[in-house]
Amino acid sequence: MSHKSEPIHAALFGAAGRMGRVILHEARQLATIKIVHGFDPAGAGQYFDDLRIEPNCYGVRDHVQVAIDFSLADAVLDNVACCRKGKVNYVCGVTALGDAAQTAVREAAKDIAVLHAPNMSPGMNLLFALVAEAAAALPEYKMYLSESHHTKKLDAPSGTAVRIAEIVHDAVGKRPEIFSLRVGDVIGEHTIILGGHGERVEITHRADSRAVFAHGALRAAEWLAHRPAGFYSMADVLGL
């Protein structure tokens, strides 16, 4: 007789934020993963259905196997420390991390599985791979990068744009000029342009809904939940 497998138990940092709410909503549609802890000092005491949001991570219970972090850069040090102490694998989607937080995330990978991605969209991570290939094939072309987001986005350029620039630099030893625009309620749009004699190549990704990032984060969490200690990326999740 077959038995239905239990869903993966997950914790969520930044549960009361814009992305946190979307992740909570999208997770409710899945049978494979269940958010059993939500942490957010700004939303402590609030409820999402039957989930009460806690102020901070003082420890994880309920056999939590993985945590997703969409909080703030300043909170990552404490969040990853909590996961490392509790032996909970850690998915981080927070951008604009300082040097101390980046080091802590890398160090935690010695004891737990850690996945850090500046963009959780599967399509954007495919763009990363395409950009590397295009830049390597056309190193003499002039390269530009434009990115647009909503007016409430704090960092400019975006973490995704910074990552694209790093990929280009790794491929050809130079960085594209970045143009950032904060306008309206744009979810996210990135375009890399490679211009040569008589032609140009444009590779664009547009996010039409925050749900795409939530789906990517949940997919990453499911993939990472039972992985051994180490540092992983969305490319690993997608097999790129």
Whether 112 and 83 have beta carbons less than 8 Å apart is answered as yes
Structure tokens at 14: 């930044």
Residue range 8-116+211-238, CATH number: 3.40.50.720
Of 146, 159, 230, the residue nearest 190 (C-alpha) = 146
**Per-residue pLDDT tens over the stretch 116-148:** 998 999 999 999 999 999 999 999 999 999 999
Looking at residue 58, its pLDDT comes to: 81
Mean pLDDT of 162-166: 95
**How would you classify the pairing of strands 199-207 and 51-54?**
unpaired
**Per-residue pLDDT tens over the stretch 91-101:** 999 988 999 99
Cα–Cα distances in Å, from 6 out to 1, 30, 34, 70, 227?
16, 12, 9, 25, 17
Looking at residue 1, its pLDDT comes to: 38
Mean pLDDT of 140-161: 94
Based on the residue annotation, tell me whether 190 is a catalytic residue of this protein.
no
Whether 162 and 119 have beta carbons less than 8 Å apart is answered as no
Looking at residue 4, its pLDDT comes to: 58
Question: Rounded mean pLDDT of the chain?
Answer: 94
Whether 13 and 68 have beta carbons less than 8 Å apart is answered as yes
**Per-residue pLDDT tens over the stretch 41-92:** 999 999 999 999 999 988 777 789 999 999 999 999 999 999 999 999 999 9
Based on the residue annotation, tell me whether 174 is a catalytic residue of this protein.
no
- Threshold 0.85, pTM exceeds: yes
Mean pLDDT of 105-119: 96
* Adjacency order of strands within the sheet including 113-116: 47-48, 51-54, 33-39, 8-13, 66-69, 89-92, 113-116, 230-232
**C-alpha angle 127-129-130 in degrees, rounded to nearest 5:** 60
Q: Which residue has the higher pLDDT, 2 or 240?
A: 240
* Sequence ranges of the chain with CATH classification 3.30.360.10: 122-207
Percent of the chain with pLDDT over 70: 98
What is the residue-wise DSSP string for 106-144? HHHTTTSEEEE-S---HHHHHHHHHHHHHHHH-TTSEEE
* Sequence ranges of the chain with CATH classification 3.40.50.720: 8-116+211-238
Percent of the chain with pLDDT over 90: 90
**C-alpha angle 64-217-94 in degrees, rounded to nearest 5:** 95
Catalytic residue among 25, 34, 85, 153: 153
Distance in angstroms (rounded) separating the CA atoms of residues 85 and 57: 11
Q: Which CATH superfamily, name and number, covers 122-207? A: Dihydrodipicolinate Reductase; domain 2 (3.30.360.10)
Catalytic residue among 37, 116, 149, 190: 149
**Per-residue pLDDT tens over the stretch 206-227:** 999 999 999 999 999 999 999 9
Report the amino acid identity of residue 131.
V
Whether residue 3 has pLDDT greater than 50: no
